[in-house]
Structure formats: structure tokens, C-alpha cells
Amino acid sequence: MTIEWHTLNREPSLTDLYVKAATRRKITGTTLPTTGLRCWITVDPQRLAAYRKVCGFADNGLLPPTYPHILAFALQMQLLTDKTFPFPLLGLIHLGNRIRILRPMGGVNRARVSVQVQNLQPHAKGATFDLVTTLDDQLGVLWEAQSQMLCRGVKLEGEPVEEVLASTLELMEVARWQAPADIGRQYAKVSGDYNPIHLSAVSARLFGFPTAIAHGLWNKARTIAALSEHLPAANVEIAVQFRKPVRLPSEVTLLSSAAGSSGDFQLVGAGDLEHMVGHWRPVA
């Protein structure tokens, strides 16, 4: 698929985009747009420091592996609320996330962010697509990611094909932490992601959840922070699938295999409830 790229002079206004998202509730088609958005974005040191604190990352001079998602969030919002995008943003479900760090992300003060959507596929509950994000510096691609998103109620021809991540290694407990009742609001402040299902029990119940749930990308970021001493700084792919949501507040336990160039991990709650599974591998 050939992408027609549109370059923006500055980041979009999140306030305006949330208004568009709130007023868009219907599925309008089954074809993804062939346009993408690009913008040069400057890293804000204060926002980065706040993100590190909320997610548990040490200040080691490198961008946290998940931080480019924060740089890209406004562009992603603009793409997913555009009239050419057929699905309503509110109600999309984040099924999985795969990031690839191609070079060490040290000294990154300004970078070009690119976002596009692709790979529309049938799913047992609707249809999935990939939200693809890329971070470039003056030397080329630095980081890239695919977020698999589900839109319920979409009807597509074909048989669903689902990739399932499963560990083949022995996992042991390496960390546990509390996901406090306000972590959704804390993460929203540093990410810009104010999805109501994460903010409070009252707002979450409007969308069918009995209580607020943690952001999936906070779960992934907090996990990577806990594993940071074992993960390579570059030439690594870190993939996760989100299973049962982390209801707030709750305690979670991180299980992982031995350190190395490859490894598996699992985030579980009380009663061995599986919240997230994942692995890290060298970039092929």
C-alpha cells in the first residue's frame, strides 16, 4: 500500500481532537485511509522526567523504549479522528503492541514522528488494524511500533487469524508493584491519553467497566522499567499482548525468564489472572 504523507508544522491540539472523538460514534466504512501524518517534535525534558517517574524508569540518558508513543499521541489522535478513518476512536480496544528499537535512543532532542494505519483483518469480535508509528532522526529510522487495535461490530469477509504469544521458557517472579487507584489519571497527565475507562470508576462504568482499568501502555512501560537491567538498549523487539485488564487499585506480579538477548515475561494479578504476556527478541 502506498502512503500519501502529510507533513504538519506543529503538533495538533488534543483538546480539539477529544471534542471530535466524543462526537463520533458510528462505523462509516470498512476501508482504511491511505494517508499518513508526519511532524518534527521536540522532546520536553520536564514531560519526559514526569513520564519516567510515573512509569518507573531511571534517568539513564536514553529515551524510555515506550516514550515515542507519547511523542506520537497527538498525531495518532488526529489520524484516528479524521473523517477518512472509518471507525470511532472511543471504544477501540488495544490488543497488542510491538516496538523495535533499532539504535540506542540517547541524546534525542528532536525527531520526526510518522503515523499510519494498515493491515485491516477480520476478527471474531469485529475487525483489527495496525496503528504504525515510526521515529526518525537525522540518520534514519530509530524506533518503530505496531499497535493492534480492535473495533467491535465491523463485518469483514474472511476467516480470523490471530497470533498468540505464549512462553516456552520457565518464568520466575522478578518484581511486583501496586497499581494505585489514581494511576490512570497520573498516566493521562504525562501521556495525554484521557480515555474515560482509565480515569475513575464513574467514567469507566459509562463504557461497561465496573471500575477504572490501567492503561495497557502503562502496564508495558512499567514492565520494561522493571526489566531494564536485563534488556538490550538497541537491536531489540519487545512485543506484548494484553489479556485481562488491570482493575484499579490492585497488585500485580511480573514473571520473567532468565536475562539474555531473548526472554519471555508475564504480568499476573491475584489468582494468577493473566493481564499481559510478552517477549523480547533481537530484531531480525
Q: Give all domains of the chain, ordered by start, each with its CATH number.
A: 1-163 (3.10.129.10), 165-284 (3.10.129.10)
Average pLDDT, the chain: 94
Rounded to an integer, what distance in angstroms lies between the CA atom of residue 42 and that of residue 55? 21
Q: Please report the pLDDT score of residue 143 as a whole number.
A: 98
Q: Please report the pLDDT score of residue 284 as a whole number.
A: 81
CB 277 within 8 A of CB 243: yes
| DSSP assignments along 140-170, one per residue | EEEEEEEEEEEEET---SS----------S-
CB 146 within 8 A of CB 138: no
CA quadruple 78, 83, 89, 93: dihedral sign? negative
Q: Residue 157's pLDDT band (boundaries 50, 70, 90)?
A: confident
- What is the layout of strands, in order, in the sheet containing 236-242? 4-7, 35-42, 110-123, 126-137, 140-152, 93-101, 236-242, 274-282, 263-268, 250-256, 172-179
* Predicted structure pTM score: 0.95
Q: What SS3 class is residue 97?
A: strand
- Which phi-psi region, left, alpha or beta, contains residue 51 (left: φ > 0; alpha: ψ -120 to 50)? alpha
**Tens digit of each residue's pLDDT (9 = 90 or more) over 100-138:** 999 999 989 999 999 999 999 999 999 999 999 999 998
Q: Please report the pLDDT score of residue 163 as a whole number.
A: 77
pLDDT over threshold 90, residue 4: yes
CB 103 within 8 A of CB 139: yes
